[in-house]
Amino acid sequence: MADLAANFAGIKSPNPFWVASGPPSNTAYQAHRAFEAGWGGVVWKTIGEPTRNTSSRYSSIDHGGVRMVGFNNIELISDRAPETNFREIAEVKKRWPDNAVIASLMVETRAQWHEFVQRAADGGADGIELNFGCPHGMCERGMGSAVGQNPEVTKTIVSWVKEAATIPVIVKLTPNITDITAAARAAKEGGADAISLINTINSITQVNLDNFVPEPFVGGLSSHGGYAGPAVRPIALNMVHSCASDLEINLPISGIGGIATWRDAAEFIALGSTTVQLCTAIMHYGFRIVDDLIDGLSGYLDAKGFASLGDLKGRALNSVRRWEDLDLNYQRLARIDYAKCIGCNLCYIACEDGAHQAIALVDSKLHGLGPGRIPGKPVPEIKETECVGCNLCSLVCPVLDCITMVSVENGLPPLTWADYQTRLAAGDATAFVPHP
C-alpha cells in the first residue's frame, strides 16, 4: 500500500485531499463530517468581517446530459461571526489532531490582518490561507482578487501577515490575471510559505432568454460570479504548471480547480502539486467522494510501483515546454482500426471541413466491414501524405481505440523552432517550404 501522507509546507495530513475553502467548509459540523468521511484537511470558509449574502447564489452549465460541468457562485466569504468560526476551528482541531485545518482569511487593514492571524493560530489552525482570489463582491471593496491582481499589494499584505504569523502562510491565487506567476512571485517576495491555485474564474454562465436576466437571479438582476467545476480544470492545470516550473517561485503548491476524481488529483500532483483541494465535486455529491479518491489514488500508486506521493509529484513537469522547444520534424499519423469502425464518418467530416482534408471516403470493400456498417456505404481512409497528425479525427471518434495516433519515422533529424531560427540566421538551413 502506497503512503498517501502529505507534508505541505510543514502542514501534515493523512492524505493529500483537502476540502477547499467554500460552502462545504462553512461549519464545524461539516468539518466533522468531512473528516469522518476520510478527508485529509479542511480549508475553512474564508473568515473576515461577516458579510451578508444574496438569494440566490449559484448557477451552472450542463453538457450532454451531465449536470454541473461548470459551476459559478456569487457567494461571499463567511457570513458567520469570526469568534464563532475560530471557536469551531479549535473544536474541530481538538477532535481531529492528525488532520489539517487551515484558516482562510480575508480582512483589510494591517491591524486586522495581525489580529486575525493571531486568532487563527490561537484556535489551533495548522496554517493560514490568504484569500486573494475571490472575483466577485469582495474585490469591489478592495479585497479578494483586487489584491491578487496587483502583485505589489499582494506582496505588502503577505508581509503584514508574516509579521504576525507563527504557522505556515498559504497564498491563494486568482486566475483572473494575465500572468499568474507574477502574483506567485509577489507572494514569495512577501514571505509566503506556499501557494494554492486557482481560485474561481470570472464568469456569466447563462442568460435567461425569457426575462434576459442571467442566473443566479437576484430580484431581477444578476452579477458575474466565480466559475469552477470540471470545466475549469485545464486552465488550473496550466497555471499550476506555470508556477511549479518557475524556479524563482519554488513554493509548495496546493492544486485547486475542477478536481472531481482521483485521476484529476493525480494529474495535479504530476504537474507539481503537493496537496489538492476540492469544492464543487463535494457540492455535487457530498464528502463521500473521498472514498474513491483515496482508494483510486492508492491503487494507482501501487499499480505504478510508487511508494509514496513523492514518487508521483512533478513527474509530468518536465514534459511541458515552450512551443519553440518542440521538434518540428516529429511526425504522427492517424490509423483506423477497421474491425472497430462503426461507420459514423465523423472523422471524415471533421477533417474535411474542420482541418486538413486528409481523410477520403472509399469503397468499404477495400477495408472490410466493421460492426454495423452497411455494405456499399463508403468508409473513411486516411490520406497519409496529407495527414498532418493533428489528432482531430481521433478526438471526434466515438469508439474507444478505433482511431489511434501513431508515431512514424521519417528519417529527419530533430529540429526545434529555436534551432531553426539560429541555423537560418547562420545560413545553415534552408527555409521551410510553405504548405501548398
The single residue among 292, 324, 327, 363 that binds another protein, judged by CB under 8 A, is 292
Q: Closer to another protein at the Cβ: 113 or 262?
A: 262
Which amino acid makes up residue 264? D
- C-alpha 157/C-alpha 148 separation (Å) is 10
Candidates 15-23, 68-76, 288-296, 361-369; binding stretch for another protein (CB under 8 A): 288-296
Nearer to another protein, 152 or 291 (CB): 291
Print the binding letters for residues 49-68 with another protein: x by CB under 8 A, - otherwise: -----------------x--
Please answer whether residues 220 and 213 qualify as being in contact, where contact means their C-beta atoms are separated by less than 8 angstroms. yes
Smallest distance, another protein to C-beta of residue 263, A: 6
Rounded least distance, CB 67 to another protein, Å: 9
**Which of 64, 427 has the CB closer to another protein?**
64
Which position among 94, 263, 304, 377 is part of the footprint of another protein (CB under 8 A)? 263
Task: For residues 127 and 7, give the distance between their C-alpha atoms in angstroms, rounded to a whole number.
Answer: 12
- Per-residue cell: 155: 506582496
Distance CA(300)–CA(347), nearest Å, equals 33
**Shortest Cβ distance from residue 287 to another protein (Å)?**
11
Nearest CA to 198 out of 146, 236, 158 is that of: 236
Q: Does 262 bind another protein (CB under 8 A)?
A: yes
The angle formed by the CA atoms of residues 204, 216 and 76, to the nearest 5 degrees, is 90
Taking contact as CB under 8 A, which single stretch among the options 114-122, 164-172, 256-264, 404-412 is the one that binds another protein?
Answer: 256-264
Closest to another protein by CB, 296 vs 378, is 296
Position 296 contacts another protein (CB under 8 A): yes
Q: Is 58 exposed, middle or buried (CB count within 10 Å of its CB: 0-12, 13-18, 19+)?
A: middle
Tally Cβ neighbours within 10 Å of residue 249. 19
Q: 353, 370 in Cβ contact below 8 A?
A: no
From 10, 234, 286, 371, residue interacting with another protein (rule: CB under 8 A) = 286
Q: Does 295 bind another protein (CB under 8 A)?
A: yes
Interaction between residue 86 and another protein (CB under 8 A): no
134 catalytic residue (yes or no): yes
Determine the size of the site formed for another protein (CB under 8 A). Answer: 16
Closest to 131 in 3D by CA, of 162, 160, 100, 170:
170
- Given CA atoms 189, 192, 194, 199 in this order, what sign does their dihedral have? negative
Nearer to another protein, 286 or 414 (CB): 286
Q: Using the minimum distance from each CB to another protein, give the nearer residue, 213 or 399.
A: 399
Report if residue 248 touches another protein, rule: CB under 8 A.
no
Is the link from the previous residue into 359 a cis peptide, with omega within 30 of 0? no
Q: In this chain, which of 23, 50, 191, 299 binds another protein, going by CB under 8 A?
A: 299
If binding is defined by CB under 8 A, does position 288 make contact with another protein?
yes
CA pseudo-torsion sign 340, 392, 65, 258: positive
Classify strands 225-228 and 201-203 as parallel, antiparallel or unpaired. Answer: antiparallel
Pick 56 or 298: Cβ nearer another protein:
298
Distance of closest approach, residue 366 Cβ to another protein, in angstroms: 25
Q: Is 290 in the site for another protein (CB under 8 A)?
A: no
d(CA 322, CA 182): 18
Distance CA 122, CA 165 (A): 11
Identity of residue 24: P
Least CB distance to another protein at residue 400 (A): 4
Choosing from 134, 279, 387, 402, which is the catalytic residue? 134
Residue 72's DSSP bridge partners are: 59, 227
Which backbone phi and psi does 205 adopt, to 5 degrees? Answer: -85, -35
Asked if residue 235 lies in contact with residue 201, where contact means CB atoms within 8 angstroms, the answer is yes
Q: Which x/- pattern, by CB under 8 A, does the window 373-412 give for another protein?
A: --------------------------xx------------
Is position 291 an interface residue for another protein (rule: CB under 8 A)?
Answer: yes
Give the binding site for another protein (CB under 8 A).
Answer: 66, 261-263, 285-286, 288-289, 291-292, 295-296, 299-300, 399-400
Q: Give the residue numbers marked as catalytic.
A: 134
